Amino acid sequence: MVHLCHSVSRNLGGKLSGRLKRAANVSWIALQILLGSDCRDKALPRRFWRACWRTLWPARKGVGRTYQQTFIDTYAKVGFAKLYDRKTPITAADLLNDRVLPFFDGHEVKLLRMLTDRGSEYCGNPERHEYELYLAIEDIDHSRTKTKSPQTNGICERFHKTVLNEFYRVALRKKVYRSIDELQADLDAWMREYNEARPHQGRWCFGKTPMQTFLDAIPMTREKMIAA
């Protein structure tokens, strides 16, 4: 099962009523026999089979519980995404250290501020919390979304909807993934297309790709950095 912060995890997980959950609580071996047979019991209601497939879907895909850490530049909409098997402050900081800051440093642009939700992987005691410590070391200010207001981070939430519809719902039906690295490779290819080839209708993109928008804004960004 793929969990993308908040919105995508709810969409991918689905919501089952108590009756369907009980109906789906059947042993794996029995369901393998039933679902693999061409003469499955037609007397069982269709919603029972939907519940079974939803319950078995993560196991059949072979990846297991997976979390995506996401970074979106709010001006150019350049994005980065990396998959992990856990959701911790270390993994949150790893995305910045492995993908985001090398990208900004390579273009001689300083990352000044991060906006995150109030999850425990992002917020904690500044003296002991790994993510807070990393931001302090890199001299990055930390802003948090308003409580119970995901629209505060609407740009990231909208990206989650895009990656869910255009990548995960397509890829997970076409291919059986056996590892996070395998899924990450296809996600990286999709992200390259998103950043460099896919036109974006964002406020400052005007139909350009996110990468082209970012490159066009570098002179203006450097001027503001000097002025500051």
Separation in Å, CA 77 to CA 27, 127, 191, 221:
45, 32, 12, 15
Look at residues 40, 61, 82 and tell me which one is the last residue of a structural domain: 61
| pLDDT at site 52 | 35
CA distance 155 to 74: 7
- How many Cα atoms within 13 Å fall on the side-chain side of residue 120? 3
Q: Are residues 79 and 54 in the same domain?
A: no
Q: Are residues 22 and 109 in the same domain?
A: no
Look at residues 44, 61, 78 and tell me which one is the last residue of a structural domain: 61
Q: Are residues 17 and 118 in the same domain?
A: no
| pLDDT at site 222 | 78
Q: Are residues 50 and 114 in the same domain?
A: no
Q: Are residues 56 and 73 in the same domain?
A: no
Q: What percent of the chain has pLDDT over 90?
A: 56
CATH code, domain carrying 165: 3.30.420.10
Per-residue pLDDT tens over the stretch 108-139? 999 999 999 999 999 999 999 999 999 999 99
Look at residues 26, 43, 61 and tell me which one is the last residue of a structural domain: 61
Domain count, the chain: 2
Q: Are residues 154 and 111 in the same domain?
A: yes
Q: Are residues 14 and 123 in the same domain?
A: no
DSSP 146: P
| pLDDT at site 224 | 74
Q: Are residues 116 and 195 in the same domain?
A: yes
| Residue closest to 202 by CA, chosen among 114, 115, 75 | 75
Q: Are residues 90 and 140 in the same domain?
A: yes
Q: Are residues 108 and 28 in the same domain?
A: no
**Confidence grade of residue 33 (pLDDT, cut at 50, 70, 90):** very low
Per-residue pLDDT tens over the stretch 54-85? 333 343 356 788 999 999 998 999 999 999 99
**Confidence grade of residue 228 (pLDDT, cut at 50, 70, 90):** low
Q: Are residues 90 and 106 in the same domain?
A: yes
* Sign of the alpha-carbon dihedral angle for 194, 195, 199, 203: positive
Q: Which domain holds residue 20?
A: 2-61
| pLDDT at site 147 | 87
Q: Are residues 132 and 147 in the same domain?
A: yes
Of 88-92, 164-168, 199-203, where does mean pLDDT reach its minimum?
199-203
